[in-house]
Amino acid sequence: MTDATAKPLVTMTGIDKSFPGVHALDNCRFDLRAGEVHALVGENGAGKSTLMKVLAGIYRKDAGVITIDGHEVEIANPRAAQDLGISMIHQELNLMNHLTVAQNIFIGREPRRRFSTFLLDDATLNRNAAQLLEMMHLKIDPRTKVADLTVAKQQMVEIAKALSYNARVLIMDEPTAALTEAEIAELFAIIRRLRSQGVGIVYISHRLEELKQISDRITVMRDGRYIDTVPTPDATIEQIIRMMVGRTIYESAPELPTEESREIVLEVRNLNRAGVLKDISFTLKRGEILGFAGLMGAGRTEVARAIFGADPIDSGEILVHGQPVRIKTPRDAVRHGIGYLSEDRKRYGLALKMDVETNVVLAALQKFVNAVGWVDRRRTTATANHHVATLAIKTPSLQQQVKNLSGGTQQKVVVGKWLTANTDILIFDEPTRGIDVGAKSEIYKLLNDLARQGKAIIMISSELPEILRMSHRIIVMCEGRITGELSSTEASQEAIMTLATQRGGIVADNGDTGGSPGGQSDSPRLVSMESQSA
């Protein structure tokens, strides 16, 4: 814990930043002391990353003052920030997979051989990298290609790269988003060592429970404005959430079916894919939210992709409304009324550089083509406006590029796309990944509304509180097999975890699948750090 009376290392006051159609930062302030971890939290779109990108020189502020050690500075670009000892590690890691660890750390600053201006000195390069990694207590060979490292190790290389610039200020944007619990513990150990060495760390995260473990102070932003800064020991999770959302968040659990029997809209029989899926069978009813739980590598996403025609299957049968269907491609799935919201919505769910209107109608564009072969813009605009209104999509206009929207709003745009395509079966894969607690509540409400409208929903989630809160029934998988099914009344964290680690399964034989499907390791990411949002 740093001295509360210590002179700030960094201060930001009166910071303003606008983009076309968006006032991203409005009179914001922030300060950071040497040797502290200062958490920065807020809903998606609150301005956290934008404020830190101003500090890192990625964006130029429109107004305001930044001081380093009490002296006012202008940070025109990332190089200027690095010269001031400021480095930022982005959520999407900025490494070159084909290069080695040492080459990534010192890219553009490689030592040259003696008496040469163009021949690189690889021995010195590797030795300097090894010294830096040893200082961080990291057992990573500097000659290893980055592509061969785990995500956690790549994160450590990013930190080493930042420290190679003699960083005094380290900004970390969602550093644990793709890490297992063991890897998070390793990262926290590094952060604590850096803090003890006097490095000031800005820690942006949606995982509020993490902040209690690692941060000294917490600053909350909302709608591009500064709300408050509180010492971490004095703050409760509930208090932080109230400051973040500024409203009462949606708390209702799903409405459970009132009837014993409901129409089966999807049936999967004995789905198999060598080394990935083994005898997958289940049913999905109209108006039901069917949760899929399991550890990473259990095969949940692989089931979804197989149903959607994104991955091939070796054998098995899929029935929609009681009729066998052939689904070889996603186009086939959409034709049979199945929509898939990928866990990576930016890569597989959206055309990020296109506007909201285009994204909403994209999956059913043929429906809007008139007799002469032109897209009827009046109809596409009317449809997009309808979904913006009914789904409460927060956008300045239909012409706003989707890449400029928050994560929760982007997710709603994907839902609008599949509703436009008139899909009755919706598969949500990690629907709230990377989404803050306020936006999560809106997604939960949306799922419940869709179920009430008669949509049949499969929800895959690594967060146990989310699965328990939202599911009518829960299917648990382990190593490509279904190991059990639980009703909402039977389900508990203990029951799910028991089934999630039951390799042979209660409905399958005890044969060996040859390791975790998809080559992933079964790391215990199932238990969420964000149970407070449930």
Q: What is the CATH number of the domain that holds 314?
A: 3.40.50.300
The pLDDT value given to residue 534: 30
Task: State whether 433 and 418 are in the same domain.
Answer: no
Domain with 467, as residue range(s), is 264-337+424-526
Task: State whether 282 and 417 are in the same domain.
Answer: no
Whether the per-residue pLDDT at 15 is higher than 60: the answer is yes
Q: Between these two residues, 417 and 150, which has the higher pLDDT value?
A: 417
| Distance in angstroms (rounded) separating the CA atoms of residues 431 and 121 | 48
Task: State whether 290 and 167 are in the same domain.
Answer: no
Q: Is residue 253 part of a domain?
A: no
Task: State whether 449 and 377 are in the same domain.
Answer: no
Q: Which two tokens stand for residue 274?
A: 């060598």
Q: Are strands 169-173 and 86-89 parallel, antiparallel or unpaired?
A: parallel
Confidence of residue 178 (pLDDT cuts 50, 70, 90): low
Instruction: Give the total number of structural domains in the chain.
Output: 3
Q: What percent of the chain has pLDDT over 70?
A: 87
| Distance in angstroms (rounded) separating the CA atoms of residues 330 and 7 | 58
Q: What is the number of helices (H) and of strands (E) in the chain?
A: 16, 20
The pLDDT value given to residue 153: 83
Average pLDDT (9-22) is 90
Task: State whether 220 and 113 are in the same domain.
Answer: yes
The pLDDT value given to residue 409: 85
**Alpha-carbon distances, residue 206 vs 40, 169, 229, 528 (angstroms):** 9, 21, 16, 12
| Distance in angstroms (rounded) separating the CA atoms of residues 409 and 402 | 9
Q: Which two tokens stand for residue 444?
A: 């939960």
When the pLDDT of each residue in the chain is averaged and rounded to a whole number, the result is 84
Final residue belonging to a domain, choices 383, 403, 422:
422
DSSP, residue by residue, 169-180:
EEEEESTTTT--
Task: State whether 333 and 205 are in the same domain.
Answer: no
Q: Is residue 333 part of a domain?
A: yes
Q: SS3 of 314, please?
A: coil
Q: Is residue 343 part of a domain?
A: no
Q: Between these two residues, 57 and 431, which has the higher pLDDT value?
A: 57
Q: Is residue 508 part of a domain?
A: yes
The pLDDT value given to residue 44: 67
**Alpha-carbon distances, residue 277 vs 301, 312, 497 (angstroms):** 11, 11, 20
Final residue belonging to a domain, choices 372, 402, 422:
422
The pLDDT value given to residue 512: 35
Q: Which two tokens stand for residue 195?
A: 């803090």
C-alpha closest to that of 162 among 219, 201, 214: 201
Task: State whether 125 and 220 are in the same domain.
Answer: yes
Query: Phi and psi of 440, rounded to 5°?
Result: -60, -45
The pLDDT value given to residue 324: 96
Starting at the earlier edge strand, list the strands of the sheet with 10-19: 22-32, 10-19, 63-68, 71-73
Task: State whether 443 and 509 are in the same domain.
Answer: yes
Task: State whether 411 and 439 are in the same domain.
Answer: no
Confidence of residue 529 (pLDDT cuts 50, 70, 90): very low
Q: Between these two residues, 394 and 45, which has the higher pLDDT value?
A: 394
- pLDDT, tens digit, for every residue of 419-477? 888 889 999 998 887 666 667 777 888 888 889 889 999 999 887 888 888 999 999 99
Lowest mean pLDDT among 76-90, 171-185, 328-342, 463-477: 171-185
Final residue belonging to a domain, choices 406, 422, 438:
422
Q: What percent of the chain has pLDDT over 90?
A: 43
The Cβ of residue 131 has, within 10 Å, a number of other Cβ atoms equal to 10
Confidence of residue 494 (pLDDT cuts 50, 70, 90): confident
- pLDDT, tens digit, for every residue of 222-248? 889 999 999 999 988 888 878 887 755
Whether the per-residue pLDDT at 531 is higher than 50: the answer is no
Task: State whether 400 and 516 are in the same domain.
Answer: no
Task: State whether 85 and 103 are in the same domain.
Answer: yes
The pLDDT value given to residue 506: 42
pTM across the whole model: 0.57
Task: State whether 199 and 86 are in the same domain.
Answer: yes
Average pLDDT (136-165) is 85
C-alpha closest to that of 84 among 67, 98, 96: 67
